[in-house]
Amino acid sequence: MTTLKDLQTPALILDAGRLDRNLERMAAKARSLGVALRPHLKTSKCWDVARRQLTTPQGPATVSTLKEAEYFASHGVKDMIYAVGIAPAKLARVAAVNAQGADLKVIFDNEAAGRAISDFCERQGVRIRALLEIDCDGHRSGLRPESPELIEVAKSLRPGSGAELAGVLTHAGGSYNATSPEDIRRRAHEERDGVVRAAERLRAAGLPCPIVSVGSTPTATFGDNLEGVTELRCGVYAFFDLFMLGLGVCRQSDLALSVLVTVIGHQKEKNWVITDGGWMALSRDRGTASQKLDQGYGLVADISGEPVPEDLIVVSANQEHGIISSRDGSAFDLERYPVGTMLRIFPNHACPTAAQHPQYYVVDDGTEVRAVWPRIYGW
């Protein structure tokens, strides 16, 4: 039997019990809202996680890179949306995935991209379905629901070219800056209202709009009405992280992802415990720096995943060194953490932290390693 004590550190630990509960909770939420769940697989980039997460082995699923699309297609996933505005030079890879039986959809928010999709389909004699990206909160890409260009851009997918309008999609990324559950609920309403309004405008102009897609983990958690919406996309809910905890979107006992590290030394006068878990293992993400409770580079737990009683965080990190100290700088008994002690660090943001590691070591509410799940990276 392999346990966490047998692992070389740093190592990425996934608690499968917490994962399963997180997955079930969101699946139930989607069912209660009467929409399909199209999980975003960019958080895990791992088939072993995805197959637990998808409502059918064929999808629906969301991906953030074509590498993910190719990888998940190789595992039999068919219904996918590549949810980053398409660059024309990527269409050949999209077509190659679809040539193997998938229905990989792309998104776009401008006429140049729409024309490029149409031209490509016409030239290659292929069909590609595309969703129009809607900007529901001003945080990034997309057309505003009331944009005068909306219809014109949608029509840049030329009928008969092989390019087909598959619907509208939005992402309430602004919810990451919300200040309370009520604020998140308000943003969830804006997200729904915006994308449904865009769908109505397209339909009124005689255009098809079968898919109406929303999603972010915060708005999915607190949203209570998805009338007119057909599907929910979200990703980080599978693992959760300190940033979501700070937003009030999960509880500490939902945090499924941590990084196992080993104590390698101390600086006694400074109340520092030094570990081999630096930013290469934790990522450079400092998302909680903007929240009420700054968690440094991560919250310190013992090897079993229980936060240590001294309220320790990773106050600083170099490439392969983490410096642990108390949150308020007060002294604590360093001798409780001798050289060789293993600790688990809950990270700020699950997506970049997981991305630093080639695999997950899977436990289930304990320290026995029950499986090793590989993940992909790159583009």
340 binds its own copies (CB under 8 A): yes
329 binds its own copies (CB under 8 A): no
- Size of residue set near its own copies by CB under 8 A: 59
CA dihedral 137, 138, 139, 142 (to 10 degrees): 100
Strand, coil or helix: what is 71? helix
**DSSP per-residue string spanning 72-93:** HHHTT--EEEE-S---GGGHHH
87 binds its own copies (CB under 8 A): yes
362 binds its own copies (CB under 8 A): no
Find the part of the chain contacting its own copies (CB under 8 A) among 13-21, 161-169, 198-206, 319-327.
319-327
Q: At its nearest, how many Å lie between its own copies and the CB of residue 217?
A: 13
Find the part of the chain contacting its own copies (CB under 8 A) among 22-30, 82-90, 182-190, 192-200.
82-90
Residue 218's H or E segment, with its range, is: helix 217-222
Find the part of the chain contacting its own copies (CB under 8 A) among 54-62, 122-130, 223-231, 354-362.
354-362
324 binds its own copies (CB under 8 A): no
Which residues are registered as beta bridge partners of 33? none
Closer residue to its own copies in complex, CB, 2/377: 377
Site for its own copies in 5-24 (CB under 8 A): 8-11
Q: At its nearest, how many Å lie between its own copies and the CB of residue 93?
A: 7
**DSSP per-residue string spanning 13-53:** EEEHHHHHHHHHHHHHHHHHHT-EE--BTTTT--HHHHHHH
Is 18:372 a contact under the CB 8 Å cutoff? no
Amino acid at 124: Q
For residue 233, the tally of other CB atoms under 10 A from its CB is 23
Q: At its nearest, how many Å lie between its own copies and the CB of residue 252?
A: 23
Q: At its nearest, how many Å lie between its own copies and the CB of residue 7?
A: 9
323 binds its own copies (CB under 8 A): yes
Distance CA 114, CA 150 (A): 12
Question: Residues 18, 29, 38, 42: which binds its own copies (CB under 8 A)?
Answer: 42
Single out the residue of 187, 233, 193, 188 nearest to residue 213, CA to CA. Answer: 233
Single out the residue of 274, 265, 280 nearest to residue 300, CA to CA. Answer: 274
Distance CA 372, CA 355 (A): 15
Task: For residue 159, give every residue at least 6 positions away whose Cβ sits within 8 Å of its Cβ, in sequence order, or none.
Answer: none
Find the part of the chain contacting its own copies (CB under 8 A) among 47-55, 158-166, 209-217, 312-320.
312-320
Amino acid at 367: T
Q: Which two tokens stand for residue 284?
A: 């450079």
The site map against its own copies for 275-304 (x = CB under 8 A) is -x--xxx-xxxx------------------
Question: Residues 104, 116, 220, 363: which binds its own copies (CB under 8 A)?
Answer: 116
263 binds its own copies (CB under 8 A): yes
Task: For residue 136, give every residue at least 6 positions away whose Cβ sits within 8 Å of its Cβ, in sequence order, or none.
Answer: 142, 145, 170, 171, 172, 174, 190, 191, 193, 194, 195, 214
Question: Residues 351, 354, 363, 369: which binds its own copies (CB under 8 A)?
Answer: 351
Closer residue to its own copies in complex, CB, 153/202: 153
Burial call 67-90: b when 16+ CB within 10 Å, e when fewer: ebbbbbbeeebbbbbbbbebeeeb
Closer residue to its own copies in complex, CB, 113/256: 113
Q: At its nearest, how many Å lie between its own copies and the CB of residue 28?
A: 26
Q: At its nearest, how many Å lie between its own copies and the CB of residue 17?
A: 25
Residues within the interface to its own copies (CB under 8 A) = 8-11, 42, 64-66, 84-90, 93, 108-110, 112-113, 116, 133, 135, 140-141, 173, 262-267, 274, 276, 279-281, 283-286, 318-321, 323, 338-340, 351-352, 355-358, 377-379
